Amino acid sequence: MLGCINKGITSRDKEVIIPLYSALVRPHLEYCVQLWSPLYKKDVDRLERVQRMDTRMIKGLGSLPYEDRLRELGLFSLEKRRHRGDLIAMFQYLKDCYKEDGDSLFTRSHIEKWCKLLLGRFRLDTRGKFFTLRTISHWNNLPREVVDSPALDTFKIWLDR
């Protein structure tokens, strides 16, 4: 898809490339990412390479380092977007529209008065990469006011700070 944008569009302005990338390419990279999140660094790098190539296509930004290009364009790395998506899905399971399912997926700590989760034991390393386990430590490290957000939109605003 990125190749089609590269060959089919003559403009290299960020006002043209970024909306096309966001609408046509990024959904393929992020589809159901909470279920299949990449396990190995080589897979993360392979996904990130697509966004690197896209940001390099933009006129005037090709020589900048990747992080500077992202900052200039107001984008986040795909890894950061996956992490944010995991926390949003966790919020939905614990507090929002999937609360009934979340009660069976996660074990809450009864010691804390607010929403801390217990990290269960597992025998295989790959089990630790499942959504239900890889997100717990990040969730438990969130400030209380973020976890206690009354609505998903408020949670997203707190999360982006």
What pLDDT digit, counting tens, does each position of 10-58 carry?
778 888 888 888 898 899 888 888 888 888 899 999 999 999 988 998 8
Q: What is the pLDDT of residue 4?
A: 72
68 plus 18 within the same structural domain = yes
Residue where a domain terminates, one of 26, 51, 75: 75
C-alpha 17/C-alpha 10 separation (Å) is 10
11 plus 56 within the same structural domain = yes
85 plus 145 within the same structural domain = yes
Residue where a domain terminates, one of 39, 54, 75: 75
Q: Which domain holds residue 135?
A: 81-159
pTM: 0.79
pLDDT band per the 50, 70, 90 thresholds, residue 156: very high
127 plus 92 within the same structural domain = yes
85 plus 151 within the same structural domain = yes
What pLDDT digit, counting tens, does each position of 65-94 carry?
999 999 999 999 999 999 999 999 888 888
Residue where a domain terminates, one of 75, 109, 131: 75
C-alpha 54/C-alpha 50 separation (Å) is 6
Token pair recorded at residue 107 = 């074990």
Question: What ranges make up the beta strands (E) of 43-86?
Answer: none
Residue type, 84: R
C-alpha distances (whole Å) from 101 to each of 22, 69, 113, 155, 159 are 31, 40, 21, 19, 23
Question: What ranges make up the beta strands (E) of the chain?
Answer: 107-108, 117-118
Q: What is the pLDDT of residue 96?
A: 66
Q: What is the pLDDT of residue 127?
A: 66
The string over 34-62, giving b where at least 16 C-beta atoms fall within 10 Å of a residue's C-beta and e elsewhere, is: beebbeeeeebeebbebbeebbebbeebe
What pLDDT digit, counting tens, does each position of 84-136 carry?
999 998 888 888 677 677 677 777 776 665 677 877 777 766 666 788 888 88
pLDDT band per the 50, 70, 90 thresholds, residue 8: confident
Q: What is the pLDDT of residue 48?
A: 92
86 plus 69 within the same structural domain = no
69 plus 100 within the same structural domain = no
Domain count, the chain: 2
- Beta-carbon neighbour count of residue 92 at 10 Å? 16
